[in-house]
Amino acid sequence: MAGDEPDRTQSGNPVLGAQTISRAFSVLRLFRDRRGDLGVGTIAKELGLNLSTTHRIVRALVAEGYLAQNTDSERYYLGTGALLLGQAAHRNFALDVVYPVLQQLAAVTGESVNLGVLTADAAVVVERIESAEPLRFTQAPGTRVPLHASSMGKALLAFNADAAERTLKGTRRLHRLTAKTHVSTRELRSELDQIRARGWSTDDEESNLGVRCVGAPIRDGAGLARAAIAVQAPSVRVPDERFDELGPEVTRAAKEISALLPPGHSF
C-alpha cells in the first residue's frame, strides 16, 4: 500500500519529497473538514498512512505552528499558523469587503447564500451565510460544486468561455447527479445562452434533490467571471415564479460585489 511506504525525504528524491508535501496538505485538509481535535491514530486511519509517517508529518506541522497539541488529551488541532494563513487568504479574496453584501442578500431573500470561486473543474465555496429558517440548505466553505449542475457553476460557465470550453469540449454526456441533471452538452450550451441573455442562472434540483438555487457571476472589468454567488433554498420555498423574483436580487448583489473589488483584483 502506497500509504505505508517509508518517507525518505533526506534521500533527495524529488518524488518522495513531493509525496511528503502532498501528505502534509492532506493532513491539513482533514483538520479543515473535520470539527474537533484529532489523534494521530485517527489521522493515519483516515488518510491511509502508517503511524510513523503520520507522527513525522504531525510533528513537522506542529513545529511550524500549523497544528498544536492538547496536552491533556494528546490530540491535535489547527494552530495559529493555519489561522494566520486563513486570515491572509480572507484579505486577499477581499471577503471582508463582500461579506456585508452577502449578508444583505441573505436578509432580503431569507435564504442561504454562497460565494464560490472557479477552479479547473468545479466551483469551490469560500464564504457562506446560513438562512435563519429551520429548514435550510447550506454548503460549508471548501465544498466543491459541479459546474454543469449548479446555479453557481452555470453562471461561471456562461461568463467564462475558457471554463465552458474545458467543461464541454469533447464531452458527449455530462455526469448525472439527480434525475433532473442536464446531461446533454447541447442542452447545457443552450441554457448558457439564456443565462448570458438574462444575467442569472438556476439550479432546479439538478445537483441536490429538494434544493433550488439562483446564481449570478462576479465579473471583472473585462466581463470575465472567476467567482459567483448563489441563493439556495429548499424547493418547497421556491416555486417557479420565485426564480423571477430571486434572479434580479442575486444579479444586483453580484454586480455590487464586482464594483466593490479593487481594480485588478482576481479570485
Query: Which of 209, 185, 118, 206 lies closest to 155 in space, CA to CA?
Result: 118
Mean pLDDT of 185-194: 96
- pLDDT tens, residue by residue, 124-154: 999 999 999 999 998 988 899 999 999 999 9
Residues with Cβ within 8 Å of 136's Cβ and at least 6 positions away in sequence, in order, are 111, 112, 130, 233, 234
* C-alpha distances in Å from residue 116, one per residue of 87, 96, 145, 222, 225: 17, 15, 8, 19, 11
pLDDT at residue 6, as a whole number: 47
- pLDDT tens, residue by residue, 102-129: 999 999 999 999 999 999 899 999 999 9
Give this prediction's pTM.
Answer: 0.74
pLDDT at residue 9, as a whole number: 44
Domains recognised in the chain with CATH numbers: 2-85 (1.10.10.10), 93-260 (3.30.450.40)
Q: Phi, psi at residue 177, to the nearest 5°?
A: -105, -35
| Rounded Cα–Cα distance for residues 209 and 207 (Å) | 7
Residues with Cβ within 8 Å of 261's Cβ and at least 6 positions away in sequence, in order, are 94, 97, 98, 218, 220
pLDDT at residue 11, as a whole number: 47
Q: Quickly tell me which residue has 504531525 as its cell.
A: 58
Class of residue 265 by CB neighbours under 10 A (exposed 0-12, middle 13-18, buried 19+): middle
pLDDT at residue 129, as a whole number: 95
- pLDDT tens, residue by residue, 30-83: 988 887 899 999 999 999 999 999 999 999 999 999 999 998 899 999 888 887
107, HSE (Cβ side, Cα atoms, 13 Å): 6
Quote the DSSP letter at residue 237.
G
